[in-house]
Amino acid sequence: MLDHPHAPPASPSLDERALAKALSGHHFIGGRFVAAHGRRSFAVHNPATGEEIARAAEGDAHDVATAVENAAHAQVSWARTPARKRGALVAQCAALLTEHAEELARLIALETGKALRTESRVEAGVVADILSFFGGLGSELKGESVPFAPDVLAVTVREPLGVVGAIIPWNVPMLLMALKIAPALVAGNTVVVKSAEEAPLAVLRVCELMNRILPPGCFNMLSGFGPECGAPLVEHPKVRKLTFTGSVEVGRIVARAAAEKLIPVTLELGGKSPMIVFADCDFEKTVMGAITSMRFTRQGQSCTAASRIYVERGLFERFVDALAAKVDAMVMGDPLDEKTDIGAIISPGQFEKVEGFIAEGLATPGAAARVCSAMPKDPALKKGLFLRPHIFTGLPRESRLVREEIFGPVTCVFPFDDAEAVLAEANDSEYGLAASLWTNNLKRGLDLAHRLEAGLVQINQNLVVQANLSYGGVKSSGLGKEASLEAMLEHFTHKKTIMVNYG
């Protein structure tokens, strides 16, 4: 049935290495596996060992054109499928992905180095939840009736935009993809996704599984590099909406392509998210909150990572000691081992980038770092990209570590004396994605929450993306929102006005 030499297993497979090999070398276009036009492929590595685990199809403009043509063809009948039926099919996909959740979790752990217990299983679960949430929203694609004149009925209707081009990163690839494809599909669009070159496998499996339920051509997947495969996708004239998660630099390229074509674009970019801790916080909860906020279990590879932590001076030393002790107790090791808390960094390039920041921090006069969590001892992991978490103190505010997104297990902690001063410091950033405040003084917390320049502010918690809570940044952190009903309506449909004169 499939144009594939070693078809991946039909039922859930817990042999992640065999599954990675079986997924090798293909895009998924028009309901089937398709080899790259140039038959070229590139290596996918396990970051915990350095070994090659699969080859991914290396897409080019020709592959992009084939995928977009398939998506454009499928979109005509998909848009005419009743909205609730579209939603029901997406909800069925959620059920199928739930059956495959453990398989997907193991595969994503293998290709990204994210620990199975603390990260990869969580991601697989949230993906199914996002699909099931949007699956229920088909009948919410409502328009309005507008009072205009006697004998004139004026209404607005929500229509899909057409083919959506989605470009995703490697840090939480399945989840970030789900935030794009689920609302796009339920709203009657079809999608072409370009996966991240570091993590093309689990998203390809998700695509194949969902294509068992969706009509062919509604959801297509390409793998390849940014300039060769991503750029032709964003520039393709039949792609009528762009949605991107990744770096600010590439976000600007995508936004420029959207401007050239005059089409809408959603961007989820980087962050330098502040965490503000007042002395009246619940201490234990806040220390644990710093660990989850900083996403140490994801090696800090998160756009919402609390990479600037401001602690009221009276609590500063105690807080840094407690945080360092807790991070130190975390187990770094084989991502597929149930005991592991912290896995490996995604790629040698990212590893070097983070090491560069660390070296610069350590060389800064007055700065010091607590270096936590022991390196793994298993000889099988000796080529793995393991990097010990660093908690810096004493860095000057103008340091690159304080201003730029590191996207690694590195945070900077500062003491503060005054709420107004710390607010100004928190807002003194190019970014504005997320922030958290830790205090039992709700009056002060709410006041600051309103004045922080961020798309998402949480008080006394720092949860990851949740279905139906709009998610997205301000300033250089992005444009538009994801995850909610409003996000689907505003970013994946346009409103058409229809008037009937029956006088």
Q: Residues in the site for ligand NAI, rule: CB under 6 A? A: 167-171, 194, 196-197, 225-227, 230-231, 234, 245-247, 250, 253, 268-270, 303, 350, 353, 405, 407
CB of 253 or CB of 330, closer to ligand NAI? 253
Minimum separation from the CB atom of position 404 to ligand NAI (A)? 8
Q: Count how many Cα atoms sit within 13 Å of the Cα of residue 115 in the half-sphere of its side chain.
A: 21
> What would the two tokens of residue 252 be?
């600007």
> Of 160, 130, 163, 166, whose CA–CA distance to 243 is shortest?
166
DSSP state letter for 330: S
Does 281 participate in catalysis according to the annotation? no
Candidate list 93, 303, 372, 412, residue with the active-site label: 303
Question: Least separation, in Å, of the C-beta of 314 and ligand NAI?
Answer: 33
Q: Which is closer to ligand NAI, CB of 302 or CB of 458?
A: 302
Given 69, 119, 208, 268, which residue is catalytic?
268
Q: How far is CA 300 from CA 352, 409, 415, in A?
A: 15, 4, 22
CB 242, min distance to ligand NAI, A: 9
Tell me if 497 sits within 8 A of 193, measured CB to CB.
no
- Residue 471 is classified by DSSP as B
Dist. CA 227–CA 74, nearest whole Å: 26
Give CA angle at 322 (377, 271), nearest 5°.
80
CA dist., res. 361 & res. 395, Å (int): 7
Closer of 187 and 222 to ligand NAI (Cβ): 222
The stretches of 294-399 forming alpha helices (DSSP H) are: 316-328, 348-362
Q: Which residues contact 175 (CB under 8 A, 6 or more apart)?
A: 123, 126, 127, 130, 465
Active site residue 99: no
Position of tokens 């959740």?
Answer: 101
State in angstroms the smallest separation of the CB of 407 from ligand NAI: 4
Could you give the C-alpha distances from 385 to 293, 342, 344, 388, 486, in angstroms and in order?
22, 11, 5, 10, 39
Q: Of 270 and 389, which has the nearer Cβ to ligand NAI?
A: 270
| Least Cβ distance, residue 168 to ligand NAI (angstroms) | 6
**171 vs 189 by CB, closer to ligand NAI:** 171
Considering the complex, state which of residue 71 and residue 234 has its C-beta at the smaller distance from ligand NAI: 234
Of the pair 35, 61, the CB lying nearest ligand NAI is at 61
Write down the least CB distance from residue 380 to ligand NAI, Å: 26
Long-range CB contacts for residues 247-256, cutoff 8 Å, separation at least 24: 248/476, 250/167, 250/226, 251/478, 254/167, 255/479
Q: Cite the beta strand spans of 296-418 per DSSP E.
A: 308-312, 368-371, 390-393, 410-416
Q: Whats the size of the chain, residue-wise?
A: 503
Phi, psi of 437 (to 5 degrees): -125, 140
Q: What is the CA radius of gyration of the chain?
A: 23
The residues annotated as belonging to the active site are 268, 303
